[in-house]
């Protein structure tokens, strides 16, 4: 299904509509840029109706605990005040201004404008990500072409259609296509219409977009990242069990599918015995957390099973390393590894445990410098400042408590950058 000019079309109409879009875009760009308040009003109306239960039937395929969590986040993060705070935080240094000039040189006015047209290629590992990415493009006044991920079940399209119903002015700024990634010709036509391409996904997906993108198009990459938790001196922490329970619940909730999810638990020690004792201590906590978060929904269970068995098969085929030292529990496992490499776990509540003494942090993590994002930190209070600084110097972007690795914090950046700043351009006008 395609959303074009506020109306839906069959996917077979794609090429015709993309040809027409080439003529529609200049007409829209010739108008005054879309005002942020129009977008904010539409999103806030969506928030109010979501909390009132208007879209509950669209969320029926999601686990109930996830729905409750999403609504709780929407209540705060999609409010007018929070959206205005996002604009202020991310674009605080982008207001128009005039330079003082220099002797012998003209003064100039520096003005910010939308990038123009942004093609959003969203990943399917996070619910609502396609709609959220598009909303960021709208907030900066851009025309947005959204390529839906194959895993999208129609939820994104319905929510986006609702935004247009609230604010018809958004019609000329939203175009949604369900183009499969295998349709290279269709993807190239979308890319040719764009000033920037915002791509979420794996290394393979990003490499494919790089090869497809026309020369001069701005690539806005949100690539795959690997999260880990760093655990130091549990014996000195009075709340150690509480911290470990929170970490276990984080793993159970996210299924380790997010960039910020915990794939590896590092122990600040070289002791093999300490590593094994930690694994034995953590395994029952993880099992309990998984039991609390299990679902009876057949689709979710099937997905989880497929992902888990795929990882195991890759290990059997030699595509991924497999440890023989595994503590297996119901619905999860703790894998004791003999190396310190930061790597993707088998996911689905199967976490790796490794040694990594503090003095080797940077040496080990630099090998994964392009994949660093979030580190959970469980340590005594007196070590937190020192270890946080060590992690940041090693390349980490986010340092949180162990249980909050995938939590959202108002005002935070994404992968060390503010998205809205990447969706604008600076214009210089001689005075």
Kindly indicate the confidence band of residue 144, based on its pLDDT and cuts at 50, 70 and 90: very high
Lowest mean pLDDT among 57-61, 63-67, 407-411: 63-67
Judgement on whether residues 214 and 320 belong to the same structural domain of the protein:
no
Model confidence over 96-110: pLDDT tens digits? 878 887 888 888 999
Q: Please check whether residue 183 lies inside any domain of the structure.
A: yes
Q: Which of 131, 1, 111 is nearest to 55 (CA)?
A: 131
Say which residue the tokens 């497999």 belong to: 322
Would you state the pLDDT for residue 324?
A: 56
- Overall average pLDDT of the 347-365 stretch: 96
Q: How confident is the model at residue 134 (pLDDT cuts 50, 70, 90)?
A: very high
User: Average of pLDDT values for 331-341?
Assistant: 95
pLDDT of residue 386: 98
Can you tell me the mean pLDDT for 317-337? 77
Is it the case that residue 9 has pLDDT exceeding 90? yes
Alpha helices in 144-237 (DSSP H): 155-166, 184-192, 203-212
Q: What is the DSSP letter of 164?
A: H
**Surface-to-core class of residue 389, CB atoms within 10 Å of its CB (0-12 exposed, 13-18 middle, 19+ buried):** exposed
267-301: per-residue pLDDT in tens?
Answer: 999 999 999 999 999 999 999 999 988 754 444 44
Closest to 175 in 3D by CA, of 356, 378, 8: 8
If you average pLDDT over every residue of the chain, what do you get? 89
The number of distinct structural domains making up the chain is 2
**Tokens matching residue 103:** 């002797």
Instruction: Look at residues 257, 346, 283 and name the one whose alpha carbon lies nearest to residue 63.
Output: 257
Determine the average pLDDT of the residues in 315-323.
49
For residue 339, pLDDT beyond 80: yes
Q: How far apart are the first and last CA of the chain?
A: 48
Q: What is the DSSP string of 25-93?
A: HHHHHTSPPPPHHHHHHHHHHHHHHHHTTTTGGGGTTS-HHHHHHHHHHHHHHTSHHHHHHHHHHHTTT
This prediction's pTM: 0.86
Compute the average pLDDT of residues 63-77.
Answer: 79
| Whether residues 237 and 342 fall in one domain | yes
Do residues 227 and 405 touch, judged by C-beta distance below 8 A? yes
pLDDT grade for 122, boundaries at 50, 70 and 90: confident
pLDDT value of residue 74: 85
Q: Is 271 found in the same domain as 200?
A: no
Asked whether residue 52 carries a pLDDT value surpassing 60, the answer given is yes
Spatial separation of the C-alpha atoms in residues 66 and 113, rounded to whole Å: 37
82: left (phi over 0), alpha (psi -120 to 50) or beta: alpha
Tens digit of each residue's pLDDT (9 = 90 or more) over 200-259: 988 898 999 999 999 999 999 998 999 999 999 999 999 999 999 999 999 999 999 889
Paired residues of 339 in beta bridges = none
pLDDT in tens, 83-99: 999 999 999 866 787 88
Angle (nearest 5°) at CA 64 between 59 and 66: 80
- Residue 136 belongs to what domain range? 2-224+416-430
- Residue position matching structure tokens 């790089």: 210
Q: Is 314 exposed, middle or buried (0-12, 13-18, 19+ CB in 10 A)?
A: middle
**Shared domain check, 331 and 305:** yes
Whether residue 294 sits in one domain with residue 321: yes
Q: 332 and 250 in one domain?
A: yes
Residue 53 lies in a domain: yes
Other beta carbons within 10 Å of 174 = 21
Same domain, 196 and 251: no
> Would you state the pLDDT for residue 298?
43
- Residue 201: the pLDDT is 86
pLDDT tens, position by position, 147-173: 998 877 778 898 999 999 999 999 999
Percent of the chain exceeding pLDDT 70 equals 92
- Which among 366, 357, 368, 416 is positioned nearest to 393, based on CA atoms? 366
Here the CATH number for the domain that contains residue 161 is 3.40.605.10
Is residue 10 domain-shared with residue 136, that is, in the same domain?
yes
Answer yes or no: is 133 within a domain.
yes
Supply the pLDDT for residue 275. 97
Determine the pLDDT at residue 125: 63
198 and 239 assigned to the same domain: no
pLDDT at 320 over 70: no
**What CA–CA distance (Å, rounded) separates 424 from 190?**
19
């Amino acid at each position: 299904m395609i959303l074009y000019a506020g109306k839906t079309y069959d996917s077979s109409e794609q090429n015709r509509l993309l040809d027409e879009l080439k003529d529609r875009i200049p007409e829209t760009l010739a108008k005054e840029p879309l005002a942020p308040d129009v977008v904010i009003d539409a999103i806030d109306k969506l928030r109010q109706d979501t909390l009132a239960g208007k879209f509950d039937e669209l969320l029926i395929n999601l686990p109930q605990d996830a729905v409750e969590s999403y609504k709780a986040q929407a209540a705060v993060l999609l409010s007018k005040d929070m959206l205005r705070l996002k604009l202020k935080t991310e674009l605080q240094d982008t207001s128009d201004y005039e330079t003082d000039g220099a002797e012998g040189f003209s003064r100039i006015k520096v003005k910010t404008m939308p990038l123009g047209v942004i093609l959003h290629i969203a990943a399917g590992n996070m619910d609502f990500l396609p709609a959220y990415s598009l909303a960021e493009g709208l907030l900066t006044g851009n025309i947005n072409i959204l390529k839906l991920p194959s895993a999208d079940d129609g939820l994104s399209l319905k929510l986006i259609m609702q935004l247009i119903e609230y604010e018809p002015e958004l019609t000329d700024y939203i175009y949604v296509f369900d183009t499969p990634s295998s349709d290279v010709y269709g993807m190239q036509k979308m890319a040719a219409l764009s000033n920037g391409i915002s791509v979420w996904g794996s290394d393979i997906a990003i490499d494919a977009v790089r090869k497809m993108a026309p020369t001069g198009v701005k690539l806005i990459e949100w690539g795959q990242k690997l999260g880990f938790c760093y655990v130091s001196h549990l014996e000195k922490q009075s709340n150690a069990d509480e911290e470990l329970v929170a970490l276990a619940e984080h793993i159970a909730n996210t299924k380790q599918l997010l960039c910020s999810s915990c794939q590896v638990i590092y122990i600040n020690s070289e002791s093999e015995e300490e590593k094994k004792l930690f694994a034995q201590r953590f395994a029952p906590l993880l099992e309990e957390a998984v039991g609390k978060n299990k679902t009876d929904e057949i689709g979710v269970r099937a997905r989880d099973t497929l992902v888990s068995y795929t990882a195991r098969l890759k290990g059997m085929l030699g595509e991924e390393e497999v440890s023989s030292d595994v503590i297996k529990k119901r619905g999860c496992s703790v894998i004791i590894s003999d190396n310190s490499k930061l790597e993707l776990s088998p996911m689905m509540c199967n976490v790796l445990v490794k040694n990594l003494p503090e003095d080797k942090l940077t040496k080990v993590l630099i090998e994964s410098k392009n994949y660093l994002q979030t580190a959970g930190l469980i340590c005594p209070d007196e070590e937190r400042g020192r270890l946080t600084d060590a992690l940041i110097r090693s390349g980490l972007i986010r340092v949180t408590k162990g249980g909050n690795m995938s939590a959202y914090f108002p005002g935070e950046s994404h992968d060390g950058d503010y998205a809205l700043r990447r969706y604008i351009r600076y214009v210089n006008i001689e005075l």
